């Protein structure tokens, strides 16, 4: 019985956001709070000869100034949470990421000193009086160039700047043999450029040491307060976890960049005890550009072989992945287990090998960014298959349909086992593409395209993707190098009056959990949605959690909630049975009451909950109360998939690309709130389209980020985008109780190659047979391709 | 994003503002170029003299032979002006192409030309209008021909302690037949290339043309080669195509990560052509 599930319930959290009552970290003001400004390196690679803080310290209003030398040796820096080994079995190179550098700066923005003052303005003014003598060295920013002989070294003890090399899939000899048998081989070298996450709320952190209780509180703009607490306590500061509370209040977007434990969080926590005042640090936008972990940054060479019929026979991919100067929390997982494992795509490719070299460069760290690895995998596959269609003069949609894996539901038919270490849960791939073709009006479009003659080039591009989310079975990811479990927890507390408080370890920073989770709970318990409150983001209120990323909240966090709700109902049935003088087996639960089957004898949920807390007339041996915690560890990833189609028009004279239509048919399993899912898809599409056409970092020779502001770094805006045409199919996930797969990243994963393919298609049809135009496909780049 | 501290003074007349402009002071107009520069600490004046509340700087006046625009008139007010739409349509087109609604509601024409950003829209447009810039200093008023106003990269004929009070646009046949086209830098939406063209026709041929370009070089300039090449010719695809070839001849074309020198030059040709083609269709 569903009163809420499947309905577009308006987001309960929006009232506070829309009326400006959201409370973000920077909105929090504590008594006697000091403010920190972090003085950062203006150079990408330099040795610090000396730092003189005396003049700055003398400034009125300055509380303290600390540099790397003031941080105890025992605090080596922020840790990496995922270990990947070299092909030869050696552990990856994992140089420390210090809270403040001691001797050498390794990227523009590397923290050199923390200035703590009565106001942020004073801290900033004082920072300008710090005198630092640097020796400047050559820098390298490109992941492939970094591995070449003679490249400047980021860490003296990491030869060739190589963090690790890694390989997955079938042996290379088998792949080469299959490739040799191919009737056609398509080869492509491309970059999946570096992008900046650009959450609208800059990162912010407040550290507060409470002498009375010998206890710290860290307020921080994070996607996972408990994980931050675990990493900071156990691996950085050595403070017992029960002595630290971490709160992630309202958070204005993360896109992955707020998963990671950052140096600033540890700095404000550590120094709050030393200076005896709460310390707030909030990044300004320039700092966000320089220090929020970036995304993507792969350089790839790939080959795909086809038989005479167009069936794929082999895929070989070589990728250089940029780690930046230091390893961020999940950085090593992104180009490996979140990328290499997805190279089966939707296709039956029998032989696949992927070879990844991860390198350090003199740039800000790169880590998971909306999609994390899967967009890179999708980009690789979908670019190369579209190009192959052009080269073989086949229809790109037919070529895909020909290669799709047959449908399987994961119940009657086994999940599909890939060549690259995964077993897909359930899938039915042709319908998403067919539906998209229908929505586009494919045949009519091809006619219109052929007839085009107004100085504009029309193109259509496809992308059919699969992704892995609902991350993840702990044992599986543990075997793959994760240094954490990836379960989720949930506590459901029924108040005596029958109102329900749900404590979830999933963190909402835009996704609408407070609504979606409440819909699930209200329906499952048969109560009104107003009677459910979703609580998240505070380690003192929520016992444990792994947080929100990898489109896992509903699939994993929602499943944990369902487990707890079921425990409540099970206990409720015992109490109800007692009150109704029946056996629990003879009761039905619906509409918020237990009824003795075949009678009109019933008892309401609220009466049962009251009885649980006022247990006068109560089952013998049953504990009072109604409060259950559960942990849910999934048995597999979930595998959403979809088909995206872009239609573009190129102005031949300027090279400007106009996105005319965008069609997305996604299958994210069961849908709890269609409006929220559409919203997630829309946002993801904008982000993926942004990467294709607008976004991308630009570094100069010396390692300066030269487009680190909104005047230079182009974010996609509403007027860059058409009205999206979205639809979906539903293939439930067979292994979680809600049958949901996850919708947070799909839009961003599928859309990028669709747009790029559309531009390439337009160019080919216009007579310009180029294999690639680098992203972002700026007017100049497209124009150049036509010269 | 915190500026260094400064004093703030609000002037209610030009004379009062001139008196407030000491050594370390700077005029604050709409603030949409200055405030970002202060926040990035690229600029750190000791005092800001706010002229945005001076009523006399906020009027558009329709005179017999000219339209005078107060330096404090905002882009949005220009976009909404009927008299400008009638006498100089490129003004409204350019105003509407500036930034976003907030920028247009705050930023002023005087501030824009005083700032002289190489990618700003007004410089190209005002060059095409044959405007005069009226400037007031402690020692009185002077009038600068727009052709003498822009001197270099963020550099103008304005001296220390002077305030632009008025921009005077002549009512001419070429201004009535004018257009502005712009290719936007995708992030900032400033002009990667902007072209203002004003053409007076005599029968079937061009009597006079004024063409201003922005975004192309270190400061806005007139494409006099193109203007001359058009004189006496019909205005059609062929004459335009041959005239535009000289559009970047006498200037150094800028290069940055959005447009190389080659591409920017190409865009300059395309946008001069498009502007002139627009006018070739109109009567
Ligand atoms: C997001 C954004 C997008 C923008 N996009 C565009 C665009 O597309 N095209 C474009 O052309 N511009 C654009 N601008 C700039 C905008 O038009 C500014 O408003 C304009 O450049 C400056 O005018 P202002 O009144 O804001 O001057 P202010 O910022 O107040 O001052 C700028 C400079 O002029 C001086 N000044 C101001 N008034 C006078 C005066 N009357 N006499 C002498 N000196 C004076 C000041 O001292 C200062 O040096 C954009 C700005 C922003 C923030």
The answer to whether residue A608 scores a pLDDT higher than 70 is yes
Q: Tell me the backbone φ, ψ of residue A365, rounded to 5 degrees.
A: -60, 150
Cβ separation B187–A120 shorter than 8 A: no
3-state SS assignment for residue A246:
strand
Which helix (H) or strand (E) element contains residue A208?
strand A204-210
Q: Domain containing A513 — which CATH number?
A: 3.30.365.10
Positive or negative, the CA dihedral A546, A552, A556, A560 is: positive
Which parts of B115-174 are beta strand (E)? 132-137, 140-145, 150-152, 155-156, 163-170
A220 with A83, same domain? yes
The ligand 1 atom at the shortest distance from the C-alpha of residue B36 is 53
- Is A541 at the interface with chain B, CB within 8 A? no
Interface test with A, best of B187, B244, B254, B272 (most A CBs within 10 A): B187
Average pLDDT over residues A566-590: 97
Nearest chain A residue to B267 by CA: give it: A654
A698, A705 Cβ separation under 8 angstroms: yes
A262, A78 Cβ separation under 8 angstroms: yes
Question: Would you call B126 exposed, middle or buried from its count of C-beta atoms within 10 A (0-12, 13-18, 19+)?
Answer: buried
A220 with A94, same domain? yes
CA distance A689 to A382: 15
Length of chain A as a residue count: 787
The ligand 1 atom at the shortest distance from the C-alpha of residue B74 is 25
* pLDDT attached to residue B105: 98
Q: Could you read off the pLDDT of B158-174 as tens digits, one per residue?
A: 999 999 999 999 999 99
Strand partners, B211: B197
CA distance A518 to A651: 48
Last residue of a domain, one of A244, A267, A291: A291
Q: At what angle do helices A430-440 and A442-451 cross, to 10 degrees?
A: 50
What's B173-281's CATH class? alpha beta
CA distance A367 to A372: 8
A691 with A729, same domain? yes
Chain B hits for A285, Cβ within 8 Å: 1
Cα of A79 vs its chain's centroid, Å: 19
A322 with A265, same domain? no
The domain of A593 spans 487-632
- Is A712 at the interface with chain B, CB within 8 A? yes
The C-alpha of B35 sits at a distance from chain A's nearest C-alpha, in angstroms, of 14
Q: What's the fold here for domain B7-50?
A: 3.30.43
Q: Is residue A192 part of a domain?
A: no
- Is A124 at the interface with chain B, CB within 8 A? yes
Confidence of residue A472 (pLDDT cuts 50, 70, 90): confident
Give the DSSP letter string of A459-486: EEEEEEEE--BS---HHHHHHTTBSS--
Cβ separation B257–A707 shorter than 8 A: yes
Question: Total structural domains in chain A?
Answer: 3
Cβ separation B2–A285 shorter than 8 A: no
- The model's pTM is 0.97
The answer to whether residue A210 scores a pLDDT higher than 70 is yes
Last residue of a domain, one of A615, A632, A649: A632
Average pLDDT over residues A466-475: 92
Residue in A736, A536, A547, A542 with CA at minimum distance from that of residue A632: A736
A269, A218 Cβ separation under 8 angstroms: yes
Q: Is residue A552 part of a domain?
A: yes
ipTM exceeding cut-off 0.90 for this assembly: yes
A643 with A741, same domain? yes
Neighbours of B116 (CB within 10 A): 23
Which parts of A565-605 are beta strand (E)? 587-590, 593-596, 602-604
A670 with A775, same domain? yes
Q: How would you write the pLDDT of chain B (283 residues) with one tens digit per residue? A: 899 999 999 999 999 999 999 889 999 999 999 999 999 999 999 999 999 999 999 999 999 999 999 999 999 999 999 999 999 999 999 999 999 999 999 999 999 999 999 999 999 999 999 999 999 999 999 999 999 999 999 999 999 999 999 999 999 999 999 999 999 999 999 999 999 999 999 989 999 999 999 999 999 999 999 999 999 999 999 999 999 999 999 899 999 999 999 999 999 999 999 999 999 986 5
Confidence of residue A1 (pLDDT cuts 50, 70, 90): low
Of A125, A710, A780, the CB nearest to B259: A780
Which parts of A89-161 are beta strand (E)? 104-105, 111-117, 131-136
Q: How far is CA A114 from CA A38, A133, A522, A623, in A?
A: 5, 17, 48, 53
Q: Is residue A732 part of a domain?
A: yes
A54 with A78, same domain? yes
Chain A hits for B267, Cβ within 8 Å: 654
Domain limits, chain B: 7-50, 58-170, 173-281
Helices (H) and strands (E) in chain B, counts: 12, 14
3-state SS assignment for residue B23:
coil
Q: What is the largest CA-CA distance in chain A?
A: 87
Neighbours of A72 (CB within 10 A): 9
CA distance B58 to B78: 11
A51, A295 Cβ separation under 8 angstroms: no
Q: Is residue A185 part of a domain?
A: no
Residues in contact with A663: Cβ distance below 8 Å, sequence separation at least 6, in sequence order: A436, A439, A440, A644, A645, A646, A724, A725, A726
A226, A539 Cβ separation under 8 angstroms: yes
A707 with A605, same domain? no
Question: What is the separation, in whole angstroms, between the first and last Cα of chain A?
Answer: 62
B211, B274 Cβ separation under 8 angstroms: no
What's B58-170's CATH class? alpha beta
Mean residue pLDDT of chain A comes to 97
A648 with A625, same domain? no
B103 C-beta closer than 6 A to ligand 1: yes
The answer to whether residue A71 scores a pLDDT higher than 80 is yes
Q: What is the largest CA-CA distance in chain B?
A: 61
Q: Is residue A718 part of a domain?
A: yes
A68 with A116, same domain? yes
Least confident residue range of A89-93, A143-147, A311-315, A480-484: A480-484
Interface A:B, Cβ pairs < 8 A: 48
Q: Domain containing A267 — which CATH number?
A: 3.90.1170.50
For β-strands A295-306 and A627-632, DSSP reports them as: unpaired
Confidence of residue A647 (pLDDT cuts 50, 70, 90): very high
Q: Ligand 1 centre and the CA of A413: distance in Å?
A: 66
- Is A700 at the interface with chain B, CB within 8 A? no
- Is A698 at the interface with chain B, CB within 8 A? yes
């Amino acid at each position: 019985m569903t009163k809420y599930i499947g309905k577009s319930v308006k987001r309960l959290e929006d009232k506070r956001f829309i009326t400006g009552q959201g409370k973000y970290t920077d909105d929090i003001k504590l008594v006697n709070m000091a403010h920190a400004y972090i003085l950062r390196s203006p150079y990408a690679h330099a040795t610090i000869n000396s730092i003189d803080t005396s003049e700055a310290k003398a400034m009125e209003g300055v509380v303290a100034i600390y540099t790397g030398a003031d941080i105890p040796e025992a605090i080596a820096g922020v840790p990496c949470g995922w270990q990947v080994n070299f092909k030869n079995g050696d552990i990856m190179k994992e140089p420390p990421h210090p809270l403040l550098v001691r001797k050498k700066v390794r990227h523009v923005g590397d923290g050199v000193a923390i200035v703590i003052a009565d106001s942020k303005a004073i801290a900033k003014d004082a920072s300008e009086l710090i005198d630092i003598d640097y020796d400047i060295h050559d820098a390298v920013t490109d992941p492939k160039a970094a591995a070449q002989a003679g490249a400047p070294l980021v860490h003296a003890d990491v030869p060739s700047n190589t963090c690790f090399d890694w390989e997955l899939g079938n042996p290379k000899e088998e792949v080469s043999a299959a490739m040799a048998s191919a009737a056609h081989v398509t080869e492509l070298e491309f970059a999946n450029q570096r992008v900046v996450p650009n959450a609208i709320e800059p990162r912010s952190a407040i550290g507060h040491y409470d002498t009375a209780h010998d206890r710290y509180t860290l307020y921080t703009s994070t996607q996972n307060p408990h994980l931050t607490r675990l990493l900071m306590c156990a691996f950085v500061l050595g403070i017992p976890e029960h002595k630290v509370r971490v709160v992630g209040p309202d958070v204005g977007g993360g896109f992955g960049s707020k998963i990671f434990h950052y140096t600033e969080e540890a700095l404000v926590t550590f120094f709050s005890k030393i200076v005896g005042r709460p310390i707030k640090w909030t990044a300004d936008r320039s700092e966000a550009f320089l220090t929020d972990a970036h995304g993507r940054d792969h350089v790839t060479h790939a080959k795909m072989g086809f038989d005479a019929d167009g069936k794929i026979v082999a895929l070989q991919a070589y990728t250089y992945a940029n780690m930046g100067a230091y390893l961020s929390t999940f950085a090593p997982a992104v180009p490996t287990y979140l990328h290499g494992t997805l190279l089966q795509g939707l296709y039956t490719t029998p032989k696949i090998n992927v070879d990844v070299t991860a390198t350090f460069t003199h740039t800000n760290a790169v880590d998971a960014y909306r999609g994390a690895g899967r967009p890179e995998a999708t980009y690789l596959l979908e670019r190369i298959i579209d190009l192959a269609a052009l080269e073989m003069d086949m229809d790109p949609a037919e070529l895909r349909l020909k290669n799709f894996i047959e449908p399987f539901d994961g119940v009657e038919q086994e999940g599909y086992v890939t060549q690259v270490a995964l077993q897909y849960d359930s899938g039915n791939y042709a319908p998403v593409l067919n539906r998209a073709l229908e929505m586009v009006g494919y045949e009519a479009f091809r006619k219109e395209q052929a007839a085009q003659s107004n100085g504009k080039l029309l193109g259509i591009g496809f992308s059919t993707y699969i992704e892995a989310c609902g991350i993840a079975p702990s044992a599986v990811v543990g075997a793959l190098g994760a240094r954490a479990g990836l379960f989720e927890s949930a506590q459901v507390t029924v108040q005596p009056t029958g109102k329900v408080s749900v404590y979830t370890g999933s963190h909402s920073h835009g996704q609408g959990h407070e609504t979606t989770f409440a819909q699930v709970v209200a329906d499952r318990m048969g109560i009104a949605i107003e009677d459910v409150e979703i609580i998240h983001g505070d380690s003192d209120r929520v016992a444990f959690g792994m947080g929100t990323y990898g489109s896992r909240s509903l699939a994993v966090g929602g499943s944990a909630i369902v487990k707890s709700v079921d425990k409540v109902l099970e206990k409720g049935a015992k109490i109800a049975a007692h009150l109704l003088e029946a056996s629990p087996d003879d009761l039905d639960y619906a509409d918020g009451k237990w009824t003795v089957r075949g009678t009109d004898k019933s008892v309401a949920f609220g009466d049962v909950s009251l009885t649980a807390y006022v247990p006068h007339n109560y089952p013998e041996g049953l504990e009072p109360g109604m409060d259950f915690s559960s942990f849910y560890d999934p048995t597999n990833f979930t595998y959403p998939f979809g088909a995206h189609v872009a239609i573009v028009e190129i102005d031949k004279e300027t090279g400007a690309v106009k996105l005319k239509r965008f069609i997305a048919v996604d299958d994210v399993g069961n849908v709890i709130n269609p409006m929220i899912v559409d919203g997630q898809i829309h946002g993801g599409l904008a982000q993926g389209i942004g990467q294709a056409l607008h976004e991308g970092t630009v570094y100069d020779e010396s390692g300066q980020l030269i487009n680190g502001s909104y005047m230079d770094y182009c974010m996609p805006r509403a007027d860059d985008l058409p009205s999206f045409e979205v639809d979906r199919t539903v293939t439930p996930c067979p292994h979680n109780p809600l049958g949901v797969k996850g919708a947070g990243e799909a839009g961003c994963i599928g859309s990028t190659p669709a747009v790029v393919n559309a531009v390439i298609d337009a160019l080919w049809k216009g007579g310009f047979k180029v294999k690639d135009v680098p992203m972002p496909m700026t007017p100049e780049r497209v124009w150049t391709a036509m010269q | 994003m915190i500026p260094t501290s400064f004093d703030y003074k609000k002037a209610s007349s030009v004379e009062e503002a001139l008196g407030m402009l000491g050594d370390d002071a700077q005029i604050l107009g709409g603030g949409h170029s200055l405030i970002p520069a202060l926040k990035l600490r690229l600029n750190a004046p000791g005092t800001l003299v706010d002229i945005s509340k001076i009523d006399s700087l906020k009027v558009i006046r329709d005179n017999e032979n000219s339209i005078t625009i107060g330096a404090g008139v905002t882009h949005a007010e220009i976009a909404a002006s009927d008299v400008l739409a009638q006498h100089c349509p490129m003004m409204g087109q350019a105003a509407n192409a500036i930034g976003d609604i907030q920028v247009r509601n705050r930023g002023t024409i005087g501030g824009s030309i005083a700032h002289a950003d190489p990618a700003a829209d007004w410089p190209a447009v005002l060059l095409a209008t044959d405007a005069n810039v009226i400037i007031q200093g402690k020692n009185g008023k002077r009038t600068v021909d727009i052709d003498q106003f822009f001197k270099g990269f963020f550099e103008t004929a304005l001296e220390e302690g002077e305030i632009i009070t008025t921009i005077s646009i002549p009512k001419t046949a070429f201004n009535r037949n004018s257009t502005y086209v712009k290719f936007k830098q995708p992030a900032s939406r400033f002009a990667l290339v902007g072209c203002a063209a004003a053409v007076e026709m005599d029968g079937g041929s061009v009597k006079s043309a004024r063409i201003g370009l922005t975004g192309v070089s270190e400061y806005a300039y007139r494409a006099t080669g193109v203007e001359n090449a058009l004189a006496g010719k019909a205005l059609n695809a062929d004459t335009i195509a041959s005239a535009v070839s000289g559009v970047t001849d006498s200037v150094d074309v800028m290069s940055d990560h959005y447009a190389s020198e080659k591409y920017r030059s190409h865009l300059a040709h395309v946008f001069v052509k498009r502007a002139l083609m627009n006018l070739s269709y109109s009567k």
